[in-house]
Amino acid sequence: MDDYQAVRELLPVPPLSPDVERTGRERLAAAFAKERVRPSRRTARWSTLAVSLMGVAAATAIVIASTAPPRTPAVVGSVVQADGKRFLLVAAASVAAMPDEGGWWGRTEINGWQFHEPGGRYVLRESESVETWLPADPEGVTWYRHTPRGITPATPQDAAAWRADGSPASWMYDKPSEKGHSGVVRAEADEPRTWSSEDWDFRIVTAGKPLTKMSALPDTPEGLKALFNADDRTTIDTAARLLVFAPVTSETRAAAYRLLASTPGVAAVGPVTDVLGRAGQAVEYESGEFAPPNHKGATKTRLVIDPLSGRPLSIETRSATNGMLLTYTAIQDSRWADDNPLKEAK
């Protein structure tokens, strides 16, 4: 089956008025007409209207305009897809409809690390905000704004234990913490810093190859798998990094979702709430790529996405033993734009 079946089976089906249903049928017919023409890659992207960001009501009208067939495993290429990961196909169809043109690709992420206070009585969370603007022009420079956000107790339970400890504003580590802290560690935040650099290429190094054009990556799961040329675990790690960190085309992002959906070792978690409190769907896989330097034991990586928009929400590293959150990157915003706001803020 195709991505549209995945959309039908994931989304609830509310009752529709005749006008809404008629509009959905008309837009679906128009989408298929454009798909048959396919004049170019750019134009073809907009033919995937069934999951475009045109509003939930219109999208739902298109999704249920035809009768859903009986539930059978979805097929991605030649790979039968397990039901639990169908939302990856929904995300693929959603993100393929997003525009990916502009002079700059901007993103704001929150990075965080969790570790125990020296006595092990509660968990602390250190975080930072990083805003990045990468130029579409390979000769341009990348702009950054880094804002340390300080250290706070990780959960309400940890906050209660911190208050019972006298609400300290610093901690002394005689031996390195899980993150690698040693000596005096202070809780306060720091001032933001803005700068530019010519190191743009490192952001899209994939499979050992620096790519200076976003369009240089394949836009099919088979093409990405051939480019990565790696075992399943490395393929999963690389596809997830591409989704979260790289300024690639919408079609390449869609291909990465489909590749994750069809690669063994990716397990569905189901509905979750990410570290910023946003609802999403998640998959997990075994990986030590983002593990803290002093963490002992196996780790799993959790990728949280919003299937309806196709946007990745966060990538989290957790202990494989007890599920404790160790590190994370949460994407607050990512988009293409004509201007870079940091150029005037330095």
pLDDT, mean of residues 325-332: 94
Beta strands, E only, 120-179 = 123-135, 142-153, 170-173
Lowest mean pLDDT across 220-229, 251-260, 337-346: 337-346
Q: In 3D, which of 84, 191, 198, 194 has the Cα closest to residue 148?
A: 191
Q: Look over the chain and give the mean of its residue pLDDT values, rounded to a whole number.
A: 76
User: Does 52 or 230 have the greater pLDDT score?
Assistant: 230
Instruction: Please check the confidence at residue 317 and state whether its pLDDT lies above 70.
Output: yes
- Cβ within 8 Å of residue 12, ≥6 positions away: none
For domain 102-346, give the CATH number. Answer: 2.50.20
Between CA 50 and CA 7 the distance in angstroms is 9
For residue 232, the model assigns a pLDDT of: 94
Residues of the chain with pLDDT > 70, as a percent, come to 70
pTM over 0.85: no
Domain-wise residue ranges, the chain: 3-72, 102-346
First CA to last CA distance, the chain: 51
In what helix (H) or strand (E) does residue 314 lie, and over which residues does it extend?
A: strand 311-319
Return the amino acid letter for 145: R
For residue 248, the model assigns a pLDDT of: 84
Q: In 3D, which of 52, 73, 78 has the Cα closest to residue 5?
A: 73
Cα distances (angstroms) measured from residue 329 to each of 22, 69, 261, 304: 42, 38, 21, 10
Between CA 85 and CA 267 the distance in angstroms is 8
